Structure 1
Amino acid sequence: MKKINSSWRKNGKLALSLFLAIFLLGCNSKKENPATESFRDLNKNGKLDSYEDPKAALEDRIEDLLSQMNTEEKAGLLFNAISGIDMGEDMGRVDSLITKVMINHLDMPGAATAKELLELNNTVQKIAEGTRLGIPVTFYSDPRHSLRFSEAAGKDRYHSRWPSELGFGAIGDPDLIRTFGDISRQEYTALGIRLALHPMADLATEPRWFRTYTTFGEDAELSAKLTKAYILGFQGDTLNNSSVLTMTKHFPGGGPQKDGMDAHFETGKEQVYPGGMFDYHLKPFVDGALPAKTAQIMLYYGVPVGITEEQVAFGFNREIVTDLLRDSLGYQGVVCTDWALVSDNPAKKASAWGVEDLSQKERVKKILDAGVDMFGGESCADLVVELVKEGSISEARIDASIRRILHDKFVLGLFDDPYLKEENLKVFENESFKEKGKEAQRKSLVLLKNEKNILPLSKNIKVFSEGLDPEALTGYATVVKTPQEADIILLKLTTPYTPVTDTNYFLERIFHQGRLDFPDAEKRKLLDLIHTKPTVSILTMNRPAVIPEINTASKSLIVDFDCEDEILVEMIFGEFNPTGNLPIELPSSVEAVENQKEDVPHDSENPLYPFGHGLSYEEYSNFE
């Protein structure tokens, strides 16, 4: 035993010495030649540059990459482009945008399976890695969690489903909306979406405005607290590699549109303040988005009539971007225009309000001179290159924006690993996420009227349903084919609007603007139906409809905010107690709407139902 131990000691010391020598040699070798280490050699130079080093200080990484970028690469970084990706086509256009225009901010398609989007992310990131500096792509998206988006996506429904922002306003719970943000963050990152073009901090003080349903309502205090919670849910308390950036919109508040016409189009380019409430519309940004440290901010399209000396749209307006947002409010994050201010596209003509006579290159210059960092929905990077090379825009001015944009890419960890694994998609199997979405839908429903305690309904009655999916009534009621056979009529309506047909731009055709009351012939038809049998009317509210006669004739009136029919039926038959409250007023007449001031909240004369109204079954003896 002693002999064996002695031999081990002798040979062990020799082996240990050899191991230490090899180890030290290897360490020295790595110090002398970092290229032997494993790292992402994005610029293909065989050595570890600071911007490629996850351990390097953030500012060092930014400055190192900035110093290596040429004018064309800097210009491409300034654009959130529309990719035009069709999942059934090849990647030719995307490849061209990335490798030739140097674009690296792209939209993520909607109508595709989760696996297809994951694979798309990896394909696009591989193309980006092959460029000279290997700058990764940031994918962005509009909201994807409402029923409206799920229906548009068709078969590809895998996200948890939640009410519209207006529905969150009806709930009024910051904790729930932060939970929504956190769940959405996990679902977004599983697909490679790292920039959310939301929330909307605008105030719905003008009831005819199409985008009312994507606001939290008309009250600035409510919107501020929900905006803050929403951002914290997506971004976290600090930005990191698991965050989704929020681009809060639309500074300085896009709600007070003249006559309710949207500023995407020339008919709505005027944003007006007859009540002198400009500062009121800033509150959701000042008290919500900025304290939550939103990474980015989007400007709206309109011209602030009578507010700034130069009457040009927000994206071209230095008084709004530099003087107000940067200097007065101290915002240092990325500022982006709304989509297509420079050039026309099939969706709409360029929203160059106040600068219509400028050339596209002059518009680009004016946007940069205003202090904006990024162009939304554009890919005209060549115009930026021309401006820099001719000396109209300085390299230093471009660099200031590039630093902000690179900061966001680095904190997301995209330079370190932009690729996704299929196991990430397990997030869409999380039933608790789906149940949370359903919980929010339930809490968002608002009971406005319940004459003679007609609700909740008893099960197994005969029901005639119009607008509500009969399948949703399975197990609750017998669905009959005519109103005359029914005990109760369930009538589901949506807010009326004025159809637009005389336009070449499809976006204008799908914007539901104009009237809030039903045309006479349609209203008579609805009232004839309602008078047939006791009726529970359900209004899917994207804007506050003018329905006094329908309200009077109906035994009960419910407002929903893009909820699933199954959830509505649960409430109607007493599976849960309604608790939502109106986040906007319901006007009593067209005249009242027309007499409202576009920028003033809670000013509808004798509203049919006021802001904050909402009933509960607990007020009635027949609810168990």
Structure 2
Amino acid sequence: MSRPDLLSHDGVAFRDLDGDGVMAPYEDPRRPVPERVGDLLARMTLAEKAGLMCHAPVAVAPDGGLVEEPSGLLPAAPTTRAVRDLHLRCLALMAPVAAGPLARWHNRLQDLAARSRLGIPVLVSSDPRHSANDNPLTSVPSGGCSRWPEPLGFGALRDEDAVREFARAIRAEYTAVGIRMAIHPMADLASEPRWCRTAGTFGADPEVVGRLAGAYVEELQGPRLGPGSVASMVKHWPGAGPQAGGEDAHFAHGSDQVYPAGLFELHRDQFRPSLRAGAAAVMPYYGRPVGVPGLAGVGFAFDREVVAGLLRRDEGYDGIVCTDFGLLTDAVLADGSVWPARAWGVEHLGRAERALLLLDAGVDQLGGEWCPEVITGLVAAGRVSEARIDESAGRVLSVLFRLGLFENPYVDEERAVATVGRADFAAAGAAAQRRSMTLLRDDAGILPLASGIRLYVEGVDPQVAARYATVAARPQDADAALVRIAAPYEPRERLPEALFHQGRLDLPEPEREHLCALAAALPTVIDVFVERPPVIPELAESGAALLADFGADDAAVLDVVFGHARPEGRLPVELPRSMAAVEAHPEDLPGGTPDPVFPLGHAAEARDWRPRPAR
């Protein structure tokens, strides 16, 4: 594909995006961004403007090819049609493709966009790609990116510098492959223990959550949005944590957000540091608030008071507001089943009526949609003015200009391969996995274990464990046991809900009995992956030692268990005593269940944490 000619005017190089041989104002890198935006808007058709207002998911072939007939569980836009015919310029990357093919795909995508009438480049976005969670609706397997703990682990560290180091690695790896918008961080307060999105938050401590989310945004974007930045879309305004019964708003039975403790403002306030940091975009959540004075009781994005009022009027925010994905169109899944659009409170309305509500509320982009014809139809019917469309299209163009995409949207494939998963990023991520681990209990002082002991393992790769100890095949042949488990959840049968870990937090009786019996037979160290706060009072009492991790590989856990790394985390969430305590707890109150097993901020003292010689 041919790329725009690089020409010169008055000694200034510019890309001749419209191919007329003359430097148009929007092509002039010297001009202020508002001037360039105004000039470009005046040249655009209504269809081209409407295309900017859809933020669609796309797939990528493993070799870096464009995918025109997407397959897989979730629907995605056909790439060439989306860019060439529908004029979409914001595309969410949904695939864990390796760095080389991904960079190649990105350049092909930009070539496709460059052949359009005005040569407007594409902004590629992504959900998180650096942590343990691999739910394709909330995160993406790494594709070779460095691996770090979940954001909840940074909440355990409470360390702003560690968050900034993490964000710097993300920025370097994302920009290397052409991802210029992060659909993260989450500034939500993890107040409801059953909520399935807890691992993606910075925890339940309000001071920690707001501070770390703000630092994350600052480091992704830099002092000002520019050619080296990754634009941040902070979510989920005005706080997605207090889900009724802990059920998630991706699904109709989890549509309600409730505030029995009256703490709506506490959740909203966690977004202020991110907004002050200049977050380029904000994503409201699906949930509909129940019983909040002044709000309409519909999904947050549909409520004018939530977007135009609380966000734009009260916080002075003038960046992009993009809905969470799938508010207009029902999704037909790979098995033929239908996942209804998450239009809670306005399910009875058609797509055009929903879009009208969103535009009136102050939304700029329809997340997960590739239906610009709905927007143009509203203008043609006289229900929305083109001036209103210009507001949203202008906000999107402003971000593209500020990121430098009009000057150079391309990436270097060799640099991408050399950058993604770079050794120093991998080492920093590995260190953060270890540091964020939290020692919950070691009353007997069993930790660190002595090197070379006979060790029985469950949930741990025996080959990795063999680097630290003699692995025993049976408990009766061992000196100690190490068991890794994940926080319990209730499996849901139907997709896509089966991808979310929801429901009860206590261990099923067979697993509980097995672990308690093992702990009674020999000294047992139990490590729990805390993606949600588990209800495990029996393990806290029976195990010789109890650890929490927030996304760590086996080597990281074994390094801590054998004293090669020190656990520095403090619990970023409370571990409740019982499911009855969880069920009686106000969904909007962070912590505060009666008699928790371990309170928010708990950590046992890691005494003399260094390797012990073989016995």
TM-score interval for Structure 1 and Structure 2 normalised by the shorter chain: over 0.9
Instruction: Give secondary structure in 2 for the equivalent of 1:82.
Output: strand
Residue equivalent to 1:488: 480
Contact 2:135 2:499 (8 Å CA) reproduced: no
Contact 2:282 2:322 (8 Å CA) reproduced: yes
Superposition deviation, residue 507 in structure 1: 2.1
Contact 1:35 1:48 (8 Å CA) reproduced: no
Larger radius of gyration: 1
Residue equivalent to 2:598: 609
Contact 2:82 2:88 (8 Å CA) reproduced: yes
Instruction: Give secondary structure in 2 for the equivalent of 1:489.
Output: strand
Contact 1:86 1:109 (8 Å CA) reproduced: no
Residue equivalent to 1:564: 553
Note closer, same or farther for the CA distance 1:422–1:150 as it changes in structure 2 (3 Å cut).
farther
Superposition deviation, residue 46 in structure 1: 2.4
Residue equivalent to 2:146: 160
TM-score, L = length of structure 2: 0.92
Distance 1:570 1:73 in 2: 54
Instruction: Give secondary structure in 2 for the equivalent of 1:39.
Output: strand
Contact 1:168 1:444 (8 Å CA) reproduced: yes
1:352 aligns with 2:343: yes
Measured against aligned partners, the alpha-carbon deviations of 1:253-286 in whole angstroms (never above 9, x if no partner) come to 0000000000111011000000000110012112
Residue equivalent to 1:295: 280
Superposition deviation, residue 498 in structure 1: 1.1
Contact 1:35 1:46 (8 Å CA) reproduced: no
Contact 2:289 2:300 (8 Å CA) reproduced: yes
Superposition deviation, residue 339 in structure 1: 0.5
Amino acid at match of 2:383: S
Distance 2:140 2:159 in 1: 28
TM-score, L = length of structure 1: 0.91
Residue equivalent to 1:207: 193
One of 547, 554, 564 as aligned partner of 2:536: 547
Distance 2:113 2:610 in 1: 64
Residue equivalent to 2:306: 320
Instruction: Give secondary structure in 2 for the equivalent of 1:448.
Output: strand
Instruction: Give secondary structure in 2 for the equivalent of 1:559.
Output: strand
Residue equivalent to 2:354: 363
Distance 1:272 1:125 in 2: 44
Residue equivalent to 1:147: 132
1:462 aligns with 2:421: no
Contact 1:145 1:160 (8 Å CA) reproduced: yes
1:409 aligns with 2:400: yes
Note closer, same or farther for the CA distance 1:75–1:488 as it changes in structure 2 (3 Å cut).
same
Amino acid at match of 1:370: A
1:448 aligns with 2:447: no
Contact 1:579 1:615 (8 Å CA) reproduced: no
1:437 aligns with 2:429: yes
Measured against aligned partners, the alpha-carbon deviations of 1:229-248 in whole angstroms (never above 9, x if no partner) come to 10111001111110000000
Contact 2:80 2:112 (8 Å CA) reproduced: yes
Instruction: Give secondary structure in 2 for the equivalent of 1:148.
Output: coil
Alignment of structure 1 residues 253-402 onto 2, 5 Å: 253-286=239-272, 288-307=273-292, 308-346=294-332, 348-402=339-393
User: Which 10-residue stretch deviates more, 565-574 or 78-87?
Assistant: 78-87
User: Which 10-residue stretch deviates more, 318-327 or 101-110?
Assistant: 101-110
Amino acid at match of 2:516: L
Residue equivalent to 1:64: 39
Superposition deviation, residue 110 in structure 1: 3.0
Superposition deviation, residue 468 in structure 1: 1.2
Superposition deviation, residue 413 in structure 1: 0.6
User: Which 10-residue stretch deviates more, 103-112 or 512-521?
Assistant: 103-112
Distance 1:90 1:405 in 2: 24
Measured against aligned partners, the alpha-carbon deviations of 1:86-139 in whole angstroms (never above 9, x if no partner) come to 436654320011111111111224321100000000000000001111111100
Instruction: Give secondary structure in 2 for the equivalent of 1:393.
Output: coil
Instruction: Give secondary structure in 2 for the equivalent of 1:210.
Output: coil
- Aligned pair count reads 588
Superposition deviation, residue 519 in structure 1: 1.8
Alignment of structure 1 residues 84-123 onto 2, 5 Å: 84-87=59-62, 90-92=66-68, 93-123=78-108
Superposition deviation, residue 472 in structure 1: 2.0
1:125 aligns with 2:110: yes
Superposition deviation, residue 346 in structure 1: 3.6
Residue equivalent to 2:576: 587
Distance 2:140 2:185 in 1: 21
One of 226, 241, 263 as aligned partner of 2:212: 226
User: Which 10-residue stretch deviates more, 537-546 or 175-184?
Assistant: 175-184
Superposition deviation, residue 44 in structure 1: 1.9
Distance 1:63 1:106 in 2: 23
Contact 2:120 2:406 (8 Å CA) reproduced: yes
Distance 1:433 1:618 in 2: 29
* Structure 1 unpaired stretches of 5+: 1-30
Contact 1:578 1:616 (8 Å CA) reproduced: no
Amino acid at match of 1:271: Q
Contact 2:169 2:425 (8 Å CA) reproduced: yes
Contact 2:60 2:95 (8 Å CA) reproduced: no
Instruction: Give secondary structure in 1 for the equivalent of 2:607.
Output: helix
Distance 2:421 2:309 in 1: 47
1:83 aligns with 2:58: yes
Measured against aligned partners, the alpha-carbon deviations of 1:171-227 in whole angstroms (never above 9, x if no partner) come to 000111112111210110001000000000001100000001100011111101101
Amino acid at match of 1:604: T
One of 175, 183, 193 as aligned partner of 2:179: 193
Distance 2:187 2:143 in 1: 27
Superposition deviation, residue 524 in structure 1: 1.9
Aligned identity (percent) is 43
Amino acid at match of 1:577: R
- Return the structure number with greater helix share: 1
Contact 1:166 1:212 (8 Å CA) reproduced: yes
Note closer, same or farther for the CA distance 1:620–1:53 as it changes in structure 2 (3 Å cut).
closer
CA RMSD of aligned residues (A): 2.1
